[in-house]
Amino acid sequence: MQPDYDCVVVGAGLVGAAQALALCQRDLSVLVIEAREPRSGQVGGDVRGLALSFSSRQLIEALGLWSVLSAQIAPIRYIHVSDQGRFGFTHLSADDVGADALGYVCPADYLADATEAALKEQCEVQWQSTLTRIDTGSEYAQIRIEGGAGTVNITTRLVIGADGMHSRVRETMGAAVQQRDYRQSAIVANLALQYPVPETAFERFTPSGPLALLPLSSGRHVAVRCCTDTELERLVGLSDKEYLDELAAGFGYRFGAFSDVGPRRTHKLVLQWADHIVDHRIALVGAAANTIHPNGAQGLNLGLRDAAALAASVGRVRSKGGDIGDLECLSEFATGRRADQRDVIRFTDTMAQVFASKIPLIGPLRDAVMLAADISPTSKRSLIRRATGMHAGTPTAGLQIIG
Ligand SMILES: Cc1cc2nc3c(=O)[nH]c(=O)nc-3n(C[C@H](O)[C@H](O)[C@H](O)COP(=O)(O)OP(=O)(O)OC[C@H]3O[C@@H](n4cnc5c(N)ncnc54)[C@H](O)[C@@H]3O)c2cc1C
């Protein structure tokens, strides 16, 4: 029997949208189910600037969206990492690895609008609909969708869970999750600097969590301030001026005064990973599989690599006439993603714990590690590869998983 769709993608967040578009490009029939309403082109809802790695650029280019977004994208050619109140610092430059850029910053709202516009044009989407049940069989999976049209049952060869950290697909497939609550939140806001440093991202570790400044193509910056849960209420209660003064002080006044701040949005920070990401006729990608601390700006990049790898794997199986929902084929995808997912989790979790640690000897050790990374070209290159996601695809080597 022919199922209704080759693939059903649950969730039209950035990863789900990219996943669906990559599958549509391979001529598979795809249905996307999304719980929320479609976006209405409103800018200012998500004020984050998303740092994109070279691998994400490649996927976004392959989806035909990079040129649409190019006016909004700011390259990062330098990254400056420092530890508040201590000697340790590291300067990373694109020249250290012979690249044009270490990454790119795209406003989250623009990226969401561009992927959603492409999704509406190229794929079938059911908005305001939620997946509530999956029954897997030998030939296909039957899924139940609840939405405006009532309850609908649909058949498909493969269900892809791109439904975020509270994934219903993951729950349905019985995957257990491991979680670490960092007891931190991130406060994100757009602002202007008196003395901006172009093409440079700053990350500064402070006792309450990291501070980051990302450049935007408009000349403004996105400031991400991570803080402990106990500090959140006080910080949210500050006036704009008080908040900006504290941020400027946090960066040691190196950028002069901070001004013209937009709305502040808060995000709770946790680490969470699923103990398995595939089952018969089911695969998980993006935050449904792994949710990580944003200190390394790698969550979306990791999720987009999941999407690219799954699309490539499904495309290969399909071209050989195989069953794209077969567990053996999906296990190859899962095995291929394991090292990247494990490395990124380790890197971001280690940074989150080491830089938040109050153990007396950790401070000097951090200084030593950062200075060593600054002095040694080999350590520096290795740090750049980890910090920017280049371990998964460099400008020279290319990204192997996009096929
Ligand atoms: C402060 C902060 C800054 C960050 N900065 C960066 C950065 O610079 N670079 C980077 O790479 N990453 C960054 N990240 C991480 C990045 O935002 C996430 O990894 C990424 O957005 C996850 O996308 P997703 O599509 O997997 O999940 P989500 O964005 O959570 O999307 C899931 C979608 O599924 C839908 N859904 C849920 N349940 C159902 C259901 N049952 N049926 C139908 N639909 C459903 C939801 O409505 C939603 O649209 C940052 C994160 C934070 C918190």
Give residue-wise pLDDT tens across range 223-259: 999 999 899 999 999 999 999 999 999 888 999 999 9
Q: How far apart are CA 213 and CA 324, in angstroms?
A: 42
Q: Where are the alpha helices (DSSP H) in 264-361?
A: 299-319, 327-356
Instruction: Establish if 244 belongs to a structural domain.
Output: no
Pocket test for ligand 1, best of 73, 129, 152, 163 (most atoms within 8 A of CB): 163
Instruction: Establish if 344 belongs to a structural domain.
Output: yes
| Residue type at 122 in one-letter notation | Q
Measured in Å, residue 258 CA sits from the centre of ligand 1 at 29
The answer on pLDDT for 398 being more than 60 is no
pLDDT digits (tens, 9 = 90+) for 250-297: 888 999 999 999 999 999 999 999 999 999 999 999 999 999 998 888
Q: Which atom of ligand 1 is nearest to the CA of 53?
A: 11
| Residue type at 45 in one-letter notation | G
| Range scoring the smallest mean pLDDT among 78-87, 207-216, 336-345 | 78-87
Q: pLDDT higher for 363 or 170?
A: 170
**Residue range 364-376: mean pLDDT, rounded:** 61
pLDDT at 403: 36
Measured in Å, residue 46 CA sits from the centre of ligand 1 at 11
Instruction: Establish if 305 belongs to a structural domain.
Output: yes
Radius of gyration of the chain (CA): 21
Model confidence at 367, in pLDDT bands (50, 70, 90)?
low
Residue with tokens 């590690």: 369
Residue 44 sits in which domain range? 5-70+104-179+271-350
Under 8 Å CB-to-CB from 69, ≥6 apart: which residues?
60, 106, 110, 111, 114
pLDDT at 352: 83
**Count of residues for the chain?**
403
Model confidence at 384, in pLDDT bands (50, 70, 90)?
confident
Ligand 1 site, CB within 6 A: 10-16, 33-36, 48, 50-51, 130-131, 162-164, 168, 186, 188, 224, 267, 286-287, 294, 297-301, 303
Give the DSSP H or E segment for 150. Answer: strand 150-161
Measured in Å, residue 356 CA sits from the centre of ligand 1 at 24
| DSSP helix/strand/coil, 136 | strand
Under 8 Å CB-to-CB from 40, ≥6 apart: which residues?
none
Measured in Å, residue 168 CA sits from the centre of ligand 1 at 14
Measured in Å, residue 287 CA sits from the centre of ligand 1 at 6
| Structural domain count of the chain | 1
Please give the structure tokens belonging to residue 169: 């697909």
Q: Which atom of ligand 1 is nearest to the CA of 56?
A: 11
Q: How far apart are CA 265 and CA 347, in angstroms?
A: 25
Q: How far apart are CA 400 and CA 354, in angstroms?
A: 32
The answer on pLDDT for 371 being more than 70 is no
The whole-angstrom distance between residue 134's C-alpha and the CA centroid of its chain comes to: 26
| DSSP helix/strand/coil, 237 | helix
Instruction: Establish if 79 belongs to a structural domain.
Output: no
**Residue range 72-87: mean pLDDT, rounded:** 85
Instruction: Establish if 15 belongs to a structural domain.
Output: yes
Model confidence at 149, in pLDDT bands (50, 70, 90)?
confident
Residue 333 dihedral angles phi and psi, to the nearest 5°:
-60, -50
Instruction: Establish if 155 belongs to a structural domain.
Output: yes
| Range scoring the smallest mean pLDDT among 79-88, 116-125, 208-217 | 79-88
Measured in Å, residue 83 CA sits from the centre of ligand 1 at 29
CATH number of the domain residue 150 falls in: 3.50.50.60
pLDDT digits (tens, 9 = 90+) for 154-190: 999 999 999 999 999 999 999 999 999 999 999 999 9
pLDDT digits (tens, 9 = 90+) for 190-206: 999 999 999 999 988 88
pTM of the model: 0.93
Q: What is the dihedral of CA 173, 308, 5, 34, to 10 degrees?
A: 70
pLDDT at 295: 84
**Residue range 32-38: mean pLDDT, rounded:** 96
Measured in Å, residue 254 CA sits from the centre of ligand 1 at 33
The answer on pLDDT for 362 being more than 90 is no
Under 8 Å CB-to-CB from 328, ≥6 apart: which residues?
none
Indicate which residue's Cα is closest to atom 29 of ligand 1.
Answer: 13
Instruction: Establish if 382 belongs to a structural domain.
Output: no
How far the first Cα of the chain sits from its last, in Å, is 29
Measured in Å, residue 300 CA sits from the centre of ligand 1 at 7
Q: Which atom of ligand 1 is nearest to the CA of 49?
A: 8
**Residue range 5-25: mean pLDDT, rounded:** 97
pLDDT at 339: 94
| DSSP helix/strand/coil, 44 | coil
The whole-angstrom distance between residue 306's C-alpha and the CA centroid of its chain comes to: 11
The answer on pLDDT for 353 being more than 90 is no
Pocket test for ligand 1, best of 9, 15, 351 (most atoms within 8 A of CB): 15
Indicate which residue's Cα is closest to atom 21 of ligand 1.
Answer: 300
Q: Which atom of ligand 1 is nearest to the CA of 162?
A: 26
Instruction: Establish if 292 belongs to a structural domain.
Output: yes
Please give the structure tokens belonging to residue 210: 């990291």
Measured in Å, residue 164 CA sits from the centre of ligand 1 at 6
